[in-house]
Amino acid sequence: MFERQRSGSVVCPSCNRLVGVNEPQCPHCGRVSPGMFGYARALQRISGGESFVPFVIGTCSLLYVLSLLFGFDGGSGGLMGMLAPSRESVFAFGASGWQPIFGFGRWWTPLSATWLHGSLLHIVFNMMWIRQLAPALMRLYGPGRAVLIYLIAGVSGFTLTSCWGYVAPGLPVVLRGASVTVGASASIFGLFGALVLYGRRTGNQALARQVRTWAVVLFVFGLVFPGIDNWAHLGGFAGGFVAAAVLDPLKPERPDHLLAALIGLLLSLLAVGFSLVHYFGIR
Ligand SMILES: [Zn+2]
């Protein structure tokens, strides 16, 4: 898989044009070592757009089970709260919100919280939406940019809800930012945002309208049902929309996007590990 290529040509990771693998600099765009020391092609081969959905479902499920084993919360909240990890447990694994960030200095949690879930229905609903939306996004943006949009939306959603919760704590519950929050739904709203952007950018009004309807229905659902982090949804949608506009679906995906996506994935998973290490340090 990580075979090193020593001769021939590769696609430049910056400009997508063909260059010699041993070229010190791309003659088209000037990028230094466009062959990535022989690993540019290996990078493109692991792109596997089909593996992202199983990866997200597998990682979220594993972390959900681990967080349940770590601390279990009887299930006082009815059906929605069934099989809920304790608040302490989701905090330890890297929940975001104004308390972890501003109370405990856990500033990296907007990266980790997207992998964690607060109950059985919470994770089942979110994984269903990811299966529904992510394949389309992979097709339209390419796997690298789809993953980047997913991660950026999570970070922007959790950053917004945490900061809003910190600066405006006295609001009615439905308008308040989250004190402790987890879930893939900020990222899912980012996928909505990116699909709306795609529809607008390509003139596909039917797609834009369809996705906007889903997003609005789901957002209103969040306003009506208690315990749903509406600011994370809003921030996720905005983050996904802006990231998608910057990454521009009308341009082809570059290997650099893939590299950035892999680094982003790695950082967000490291954030979960670091959350646990930090938790045992402050306990
Ligand atoms: Zn180039």
- Phi and psi of 263, rounded to 5°? -65, -40
Written as tens digits, the pLDDT of the chain (283 aa) is: 567 888 888 888 888 888 998 999 999 998 888 888 887 777 766 665 678 899 999 999 999 999 999 998 765 667 777 889 999 999 999 999 999 999 999 999 999 999 999 999 999 999 999 999 999 999 899 999 999 999 999 999 999 999 999 999 888 888 889 999 999 999 999 999 999 999 999 998 888 899 999 999 988 988 887 778 999 999 999 999 999 999 999 998 888 999 999 999 999 999 999 999 999 998 7
How many residues in the chain? 283
> For residue 228, how far is the Cα from the chain centroid?
18
Distance 15 CA to ligand 1 centre (A): 4
Distance 138 CA to ligand 1 centre (A): 24
Distance 32 CA to ligand 1 centre (A): 9
Distance 197 CA to ligand 1 centre (A): 27
Q: What is the pLDDT of residue 276?
A: 97
Q: Which residue stretches of 180-229 are H helix?
A: 185-202, 205-224
* 49-282 carries CATH number 3.30.565.10: no
| The pTM of the whole model exceeds 0.95 | no
- In whole angstroms, give the CA distance from residue 98 to residue 104: 9
- In whole angstroms, give the CA distance from residue 68 to residue 90: 9
Would you list the domain boundaries of the chain?
Answer: 9-45, 49-282
